[in-house]
Amino acid sequence: MTDTLVIVESPAKAKTIAKYLGSKYKVIASNGHIRDLPKSQLGIDVEHEFEPKYITLRGRGEVLEKIKKEAKQAKKVLLATDPDREGEAISWHLAEALKMDPAANCRVVFNEITKSVLQASIKKARPIDEKLVDAQQARRVLDRLVGYKISPLLWAKVRKGLSAGRVQSVATRMICDREQEINDFEQEEYWTITAHLNAPRARKAIEARFYGYNGQKTDIPDETSANKVLEQSEGAPFMLTEKKVAEKLRHAPAPFTTSSMLQEASRKLGLTPKMTMSLAQQLYEGVELGGKGSVALITYIRTDSVRVSSEAQAIALEHIRDTFGEDYVPSKPNIYKGRSSAQDAHEAIRPTNILLEPAMIKEYLRSSLFRLYKLIYERFLASQMNQAVYETTQLTFDANGCTYKASGVKTVFEGYTKVYTESTDDSEEKEGSLPELTEGMELTASEIVPARHFTQPPARFTEASLVKALEEKGIGRPSTYSPTISTIIDRGYVSREKKQLIPTELGFVVTQLMKDNFSDIVDVTFTADMESKLDEVEEGSKQWREVISDFYGPFEHSVEEAFKNVEHVKIPDEVSDVVCDKCGAMMVYKVGKFGRFLACPNYPKCQNTKRIVEKIGVKCPKCGAELIKLHSKKGRAFYGCERHPECDFVSWQKPAGENCPKCGKYMVQKIGKNGSYKQCSDTENCGYVMRSPNAKKVDDGE
Active site residues: 300
Buried b (16+ CB within 10 A) or exposed e, 127-153: ebbebbbbbbbbbbbbbbbbbbbbeeb
Q: What's the start-to-end Cα distance of the chain, in Å?
A: 52
User: For residues 493 and 503, is the Cβ–Cβ distance under 8 A?
Assistant: yes
Using alpha carbons, list the distances in angstroms from residue 503 to 147, 172, 485, 493.
Answer: 20, 8, 12, 6
User: For residues 228 and 436, is the Cβ–Cβ distance under 8 A?
Assistant: no
Buried b (16+ CB within 10 A) or exposed e, 177-194: ebbeeeeeeeeeebbebb
The burial of 512, by beta-carbon neighbours within 10 Å (0-12 exposed, 13-18 middle, 19 or more buried), is given as middle
User: For residues 388 and 417, is the Cβ–Cβ distance under 8 A?
Assistant: yes
The values of phi and psi at residue 682, to 5°, are: -90, 75
The SS3 of residue 57 is coil
The SS3 of residue 485 is helix
**Closest C-alpha to 461, from 428, 494, 484:** 494
CA 142 – CA 550 distance, rounded (Å): 11
CA 684 – CA 20 distance, rounded (Å): 32
Query: How many other CB atoms are there within 10 angstroms of residue 468's CB atom?
Result: 19
Please calculate the CA angle 635-637-638 and round it to the nearest 5 degrees: 135
User: For residues 481 and 262, is the Cβ–Cβ distance under 8 A?
Assistant: yes
Using alpha carbons, list the distances in angstroms from residue 539 to 93, 139, 543, 567, 677.
Answer: 21, 14, 10, 43, 50
Query: How many other CB atoms are there within 10 angstroms of residue 698's CB atom?
Result: 15
CA 163 – CA 168 distance, rounded (Å): 9
Residues 6+ apart with CB under 8 A from 605: 583
**Closest C-alpha to 119, from 85, 78, 86, 88:** 78
What is the residue-wise DSSP string for 235-276? T--EEEEEEEEEEEEEPPPPPB-HHHHHHHHHHHH---HHHH
Please, where are the H alpha helices in 25-102?
A: 61-72, 85-97
CA 33 to chain centre: 24
Using alpha carbons, list the distances in angstroms from residue 294 to 14, 285, 364.
Answer: 10, 9, 11
User: For residues 146 and 163, is the Cβ–Cβ distance under 8 A?
Assistant: no
CA 436 – CA 206 distance, rounded (Å): 11
Tell me the sheet residues that pair with 403: 212, 398
CA 441 – CA 418 distance, rounded (Å): 36
